[in-house]
Amino acid sequence: MNISQAQGYIATPPTGKGPGILVLHAWWGMNDFFRGFCDHLAQAGFVALAPDMYSGTIVQTVEEAEQFKSHWDEEKEVPPIILPAVEKLEKHPAVNGHSLGIVGFSMGGYWALWLAQKIPELFKAVVLFYGTNGGGGDFEQSKAAFLGHFAEMDPYETKPTIEELEKNLKGAHRPVTFYTYPGTGHWFFEKDRPEAYSAQAAQLAWERTLKFLSASLVMA
């Protein structure tokens, strides 16, 4: 069953129960693609909850996204939205186990890494789609394994930044697997971005993501 809500979206598996996954959208807002991604996770056996970090706003173009973010206090606005969402997911009756996973897209990847540091004992799996936090952070207390999907040709995320994050995570003794997809650009996973979407890379990233989440979280 899928429940659409003013502050987000949740999808539960046909079996009624599964591990919990927090989905953090990119700078487009909570659009149909990210709702559909939650539905796909649910069909694969997970309980997926995606908080709406934009509180209802959806943008269509890079220019609109840049304009929105120019007058949006991200560091102030996001934590009061995603922290209650984490608590809601953790306590949801459909969620099995005491550990959660996160999948973050671009901007959402930054906040996925923030949560992995903020609540290190709760998250066991973190998936990043072409998003980092600049490579820094303290992950010494983290209990998570990390999977990253990155584009070969990306003006937003440089190779040194990705390598710095990988080095940082490994230095904290976290399991890390980062993939770079040849010939792709930022947003290659998102089917509603025809200028960037790569069906082959997206399918491979999806398969790797499911395998990683299933291995990292107890499936029951």
Contact indicator for 189, 207 with CB cutoff of 8 Å = no
Q: What is the 3 state secondary structure string of the chain? A: CEEEECCEEEECCCCCCEEEEEEECCCCCCCHHHHHHHHHHHHCCCEEEEECCCCCCCCCCHHHHHHHHHCCCHHHHCHHHHHHHHHHHHHCCCEEEEEEEEEEECHHHHHHHHHHHHCCCCEEEEEEECCCCCCCCCCCCCCCEEEEEEEEECCCCCHHHHHHHHHHHHHCCCCEEEEEEEEEECCCCCCCCCCCCCHHHHHHHHHHHHHHHHHHCCCC
For the whole model, what pTM was predicted? Answer: 0.95
What is the total count of domains within the chain? 1
pLDDT of residue 125: 98
The encoded tokens of residue 87 equal 């608590």
pLDDT of residue 2: 39
pLDDT of residue 157: 95
Looking at residue 181, which CATH number applies to its domain? 3.40.50.1820
> Mean pLDDT by 10-residue block, N- to C-terminus, for the chain (220 residues)?
59 95 97 98 97 96 95 94 96 93 98 97 97 93 97 95 97 97 97 97 98 84
The CA angle 35-156-106, to the nearest 5 degrees, is: 20
Contact indicator for 151, 180 with CB cutoff of 8 Å = yes
Q: Which domain holds residue 96?
A: 2-216
pLDDT of residue 214: 95
pLDDT of residue 220: 42
pLDDT of residue 98: 86
Residues 112 and 117: their CA atoms lie apart, in Å, by 9
pLDDT of residue 219: 53
Contact indicator for 21, 50 with CB cutoff of 8 Å = no
Residues 166 and 168: their CA atoms lie apart, in Å, by 5
Residues 145 and 45: their CA atoms lie apart, in Å, by 19
